[in-house]
Structure 1
């Protein structure tokens, strides 16, 4: 059995919010993992993903068409905010629905197990 992941057809969060994280997550720091060339400095302590610090944000690592089929080109090395951002399938993340609404997508419904 596997669960359908609604994020692979959405991507709205990647094109709605600034993705800021502690600078040391960049791969130019010891133990860092986020490709630093895809980031920009916010201040002395924080970086953000390129493209997300704009009035119309879209992460440079996002590939595909929002609401149709998307993927993250650095999924295994994505920053902490991306790892912690869950799809709102259980009511625990209203920011997911906010991002989806920005792109004309309806709220998510609970995930069903697929045989």
Structure 2
């Protein structure tokens, strides 16, 4: 016969609670990592948009014969939340712009999302 008293099987008592806490902790870490990935992806999109607009604006200025198309690129990039890393006016009015956008996906971890764009008249 198996006698089961009030204390029988108490060695596993509460183990389901610990398991649930572990699953919740893993889920929270996953949510934090997905949030960091979403922030990094959004910053990359912002950087690409700013680079595209800056390159187009600078190329437009270069076509008109402006003295410093890169000044226009810098102003446009800053209005779009980016900083110009490099700007080069090539053959004719062809302009290449590289920008960066700082992003902090996790507390204490800051990175730069970068993007590059090139613009100019068709056929160059």
For Structure 1 versus Structure 2, the TM-score category normalised by the shorter chain is: under 0.3
Q: Which structure shows the higher helix fraction?
A: 2
Q: TM-score, normalised by structure 2?
A: 0.25
Compare relative contact order (CA 8 Å, sep 6+) and give the higher one, 1 or 2: 1
Q: TM-score, normalised by structure 1?
A: 0.26
